[in-house]
A and B are shown apart, each in its own frame.
Chain A
Amino acid sequence: MVWSWVPEYLPKFVSGLWITLQLLSLSVFFGMLLAIPIGLVQVTGPRWLGAIARGFCTVVRGTPLLIQLWLLYYGLGALFPMVPGIRESFLWPVLREAFPFAVLAFTISVAGYEGEIMRGAFKSVPKGELEAARAFGMGRFTLLRRIWLPRALQNVFPTLAGEFVLTLKSTPLAATITVFDVYGVGSIVRQETYRIYEPLLFVAAIYICLTGIIVLVFNWLERRVPRPA
Chain B
Amino acid sequence: MNSDIHRSRNEAVVVNNLHKKFDDLEVLRGVSLQANEGDVLSIIGSSGSGKSTFLRCINLLELPTSGDIRIAGESIAFKQSKQGLIPEDSKQVQRLRTKLGMVFQSFNLWSHKTVIQNVMEVPVHVLKQSKQDALERAEHFLNRVGLWEKRDQYPAFLSGGQQQRAAIARALAIEPRVMLFDEPTSALDPELVGEVLKVIHDLADEGRTMILVTHEMKFARDVSNQVIFLHHGKVEESGTAQQVFYETKSERCKAFVSSIH
Which chain A residues have a beta carbon within 8 Å of chain B's beta carbons? 126, 128-129, 131-139, 142, 146-147, 150-151, 154, 225-228
Contact = CB atoms under 8 A, between A and B. Distances in A.
Contact of B154 (A131, A151, A225): A225
A151 to B, nearest CB: 5
11 contacts: A128-B108, A135-B97, A135-B100, A136-B98, A136-B101, A136-B126, A136-B171, A142-B126, A146-B121, A147-B110, A225-B112
A134 B96 CA distance: 11
A135 B95 CA distance: 10
A137 B171 CA distance: 12
A134 B121 contact: no
A137 B94 contact: yes
Contacts of A138: 94, 122, 125-126
A151 B122 CA distance: 16
A139 B108 contact: no
Contacts of B96: 137
A182 B68 CA distance: 67
A137 B102 contact: no
B99 to A, nearest CB: 8
B249 to A, nearest CB: 36
A137 B122 contact: yes
B108 A136 contact: no
Contacts of A134: 61, 97
Contacts of B110: 129, 132-133, 147, 151
Contacts of A228: 156-157
Nearest to B95: A137
A124 to B, nearest CB: 12
A131 B125 contact: no
Interface string B69-113: 000000000000000000000100111111011101011111110
- Nearest 9 pairs of A and B residues by beta carbon: A137-B97, A128-B108, A137-B98, A132-B108, A135-B102, A137-B94, A136-B122, A151-B112, A154-B112
A212 B171 CA distance: 43
B224 interface: no
B111 A129 contact: yes
A142 B125 contact: yes
Contacts of B111: 126, 129, 151, 225
Nearest to A225: B112
A132 B104 contact: yes
Nearest to B182: A135
B174 A226 contact: no
Contacts of A154: 112
A228 B155 CA distance: 10
A129 B101 CA distance: 15
A227 B111 CA distance: 10
A147 B126 CA distance: 12
Q: Which of A136, A138, A146, A154 has the most CB of B within 10 A?
A: A136
Contacts of A131: 61, 104, 108
B214 interface: no
A142 B94 CA distance: 12
Contacts of B121: 146
Q: Which of A135, A138, A154, A225 has the most CB of B within 10 A?
A: A135
B36 interface: no
